Amino acid sequence: MDFWTQVSRLILKGRYIILILIAAFTYFLASQMQYMRFSYTEANLLPENHKTNIEYNQFLELFGEEGNLIILATEDSSIFTPEKFNAWNDLSKKLDSFNEVDFTVAIGDIQKLKKNKTEQKFDVEPLYDKAPTTTEEVLKIKNELFENLPFFDNFLYNKKSETIRTIVYLKKDIVNTAARKDFIFDALNPTIEKFEKDYNIDIRVSGMPYIRTMNAQNIIDEIGLFVFLALAVTALIFFFFFRSFRATFITLVVVSIGVVWAFGFIGLFRYEITVLMALIPPLIIVIGVPNAIFLINKYQQEVKKHGNQAKSLQRVISKIGNATLMTNVTTASGFATFIFTKSQLLREFGTIASINILAIFVLALLIIPIMYSFLPLPKEKHLKHLERKWIDAIVTWMESIVRNHRFAVYASTIVLIIVSMIGVYMIKISGSLIEDMPKGKQFFKDIVFFEEEFGGIMPLEIVIDTKVEKGVMKLSTLQRMNKLDETIDEIPQLSKSLSVLNIVKYSKQAFYSGIPKYYQLPNNQEKNWILSYTKNSTSNSDLLNNFVDSTGRYARITTFMKDIGTDKMKLIEDRIQQKIDKEFPKEDYNVSMTGGALVFLKGTTFLINNLVISLSLAILLIAIFMAFMFRSFRMIIISLIPNIFPLLITAGLMGYLGVPIKPSTILVFSIAFGISVDDTIHFLAKYRQELIANNWRIKQSVYAALRETGVSMFYTSIVLFFGFLVFTVSSFGGTIALGGLVSITLLFAMVSNLLLLPSLLLSLEKKIANKKTLKEPTLDILAPEDNNGDK
């Protein structure tokens, strides 16, 4: 008695115990769902010991969390009326009263520097003493701000468009916690919505804490939608093929338990829900349904042959248990290769996906035969789909193409390869922090608004180590920083910078009685006078306290970036680095570029390199599986060609359609390859079985394998195509691209496996189809045919 026959008897005899164990394990995993948590930190795509990460962590130690700004803005001209102007500043005070807020800066909070000759220091005085009551008073404040206070230009106002801003600084210790989300949804958003309603003013909101929170909520909202759509679409297609409520219900039970297990494993491993992790539950549905198709189709075929339920159920497990195991192992391997990357994000995704793919196989293999064992035999109407003429017509057409038009198959393949190769050379590599975010959402539109008005919202930091205490305030250092600042100003993708330079320039302006033209660095003669005034001053402004560390050795220059891809970022980085190398001698200064946006963009490039390795590893791993199953080098090559070919077509399409290579799109290749190779395994396994049964008559074996597996391959490919197409309803660009590209790739893979693979087998028949080439496999994928001819 072989292994799978023993397994089938064990499953059917111990069905009550197995159901109890499944129920208990499902309950356990359901209880672990409480530990699922959504990511409150920015996804770090780099390994911890990467140079960029080390520099960023050093920056955080010096200056603390950088991404703690939430920015409010309005370009409504009616804001410069007494009621609305005062309400705008009151809004800032209200936000300042929340525990999660460190401090706020609005026009009403502006403190002007004023020279005190008597005590040789700068005093601070408010921009205005009392709330304005007339439009003239408001316009006077506006004129004073726009004309005489360049220090606040591009920070609290845009002179050109007359947009004004309020800056909310969150407490740094809550930025990466759940408290951030609670504050934004329970305090900030309701407060802003009430203000907008009361004063009929549109407020734009942005800043990295806000963007991350709104984006994370969008992921949460979409998980439920994806699970529902994946269940609905796959169930509908399944029912269309099988016309059986019973079979559809059993399939839904299997994949629903699979979804619970998927969420449970995420909780059990204490992993965070990210955009990638959110794809796993619907992915399990899409991959789980084909398992049900193979098992239920086999069961119904057996019932149609001999009408013996016990024998049919036993054969479902023993005949194709090994084949479905191998196909699930190859699919899981496609995902498991992510575990070997150095990215924590990918490792976690690969771990959960591969575990759950194997888990859904086990569930299908156990639940489907057991549930059918409690039910009466399928009725004649449930088996009618096995004789559908349109399916027979499709299979006959495929057989005709392979039999009579192989030259056309090869010619089409070569043309597609050439055209695809041209497309591959057109592909661009891109990585952007917000590119894949939902473009229809208000928070994304606000990002675009802030880019146009203020030059961006993603911080880029430059840290200057002067190597000596109080080295920052040396005039030579400030002058070097100013030269670097000028270069930053020349780059259109960057905003005006913020640094200690701003306060020093403002000090000089104040020293010369607030005349705007003196907003500049002091010269050697002025330096000592102005700096002595600065030292004697006790400003209550929190604004620039964190731009120089407590020892005066380190300074930071902060600028904000527009949403640019990795290619443009590299050019900007090189330009700034050239200026740094020119202005800051290495023997006197250590200067580094860092910031969350830069870490993300470098992480994207790193991730893409890792995913190329992952895809190569997936191909190698699956080639090893093929070697293990067929023990023939030629069969390995033949099995890989129909699966690499669709990847090439997809890559070519990406080039022609302008879809860049980025983390979300490069995932397509490993996922699609791992899934598409399943069809190859089913076909070749059946082909080998037919060869032995037909005494190595090749043509007869190829056509028999095509007829036998063609229907199931067609069914499963259609389910996978529409299942992955579900992801295109996402509001995330990366998820849309992933769903659409995987669907297209799998469709090409189906055609490739049903036309190109049989054609290759027939053309190379003499070289591959003999007992010497096709050695006895290490493990039989399909059980050999019975003497009575039943399969």
Contact 769, 761 (CB under 8 A): yes
**477 found inside a domain:** no
Asked whether the CA dihedral 437, 442, 448, 453 is positive or negative, the reply is negative
Listed residue (473, 487, 498) closest to 551, CA to CA: 473
Report pLDDT digits (tens) over 554-596: 999 999 888 777 777 888 889 999 999 999 999 999 999 998 7
Report pLDDT digits (tens) over 571-580: 888 999 999 9
* CA 345/CA 31 separation, integer angstroms: 24
**283 found inside a domain:** yes
**435 found inside a domain:** no
Query: With bands split at pLDDT 50, 70 and 90, how would you rate the model's confidence at 786?
Result: very low
Q: What is the mean pLDDT of residues 23-38?
A: 90
**199 found inside a domain:** no
* CA 690/CA 700 separation, integer angstroms: 8
pLDDT at 381 over 80: no
**195 found inside a domain:** no
Contact 521, 501 (CB under 8 A): yes
Can you give the pLDDT at residue 791? 38
Distant-in-sequence contacts of 616-619, Cβ < 8 A, 24+ apart: 617/337, 617/340, 618/333, 618/334, 618/337, 618/670, 618/673, 618/674, 619/644, 619/673
* CA 641/CA 312 separation, integer angstroms: 35
What tokens were used for 271? 């992993």
Model confidence pTM above 0.75: yes
**91 found inside a domain:** no
pLDDT at 788 over 70: no
Report pLDDT digits (tens) over 139-178: 999 998 888 888 888 888 888 888 999 999 898 888 878 8
Q: What is the mean pLDDT of residues 728-746?
A: 85
**533 found inside a domain:** no
Q: What is the mean pLDDT of residues 522-543?
A: 67
Q: What is the mean pLDDT of residues 638-647?
A: 87
- Max mean pLDDT among 4-8, 131-135, 546-550 falls in 131-135
Residue 256 DSSP class: H
Q: What is the mean pLDDT of residues 677-688?
A: 80
Report pLDDT digits (tens) over 448-485: 888 888 887 778 899 999 999 888 888 899 999 999 99
* 121 alpha carbon, distance to own chain's centre: 53
Listed residue (377, 341, 324, 361) closest to 670, CA to CA: 341
Contact 645, 410 (CB under 8 A): no
* 474 alpha carbon, distance to own chain's centre: 45
Report pLDDT digits (tens) over 86-144: 999 999 999 999 999 988 989 988 888 888 887 778 788 888 888 899 999 999 999 98
Residue 269 DSSP class: T
The number of distinct structural domains making up the chain is 1
Least confident of 115-119, 379-383, 521-525, 676-680: 379-383
Domain range for 726 is 3-41+213-425+600-768
Whole-number Cα distances in Å, 785 to 90, 119, 213: 83, 103, 58
**74 found inside a domain:** no
Contact 667, 727 (CB under 8 A): no
Q: Which CATH number characterizes residue 737's domain?
A: 1.20.1640.10
Report pLDDT digits (tens) over 174-229: 887 888 889 999 999 999 999 999 999 999 999 888 988 888 888 888 888 888 88
Place of tokens 């290749």: 669
Report pLDDT digits (tens) over 293-347: 888 888 888 888 887 888 888 888 877 777 788 788 888 887 888 888 777 788 8
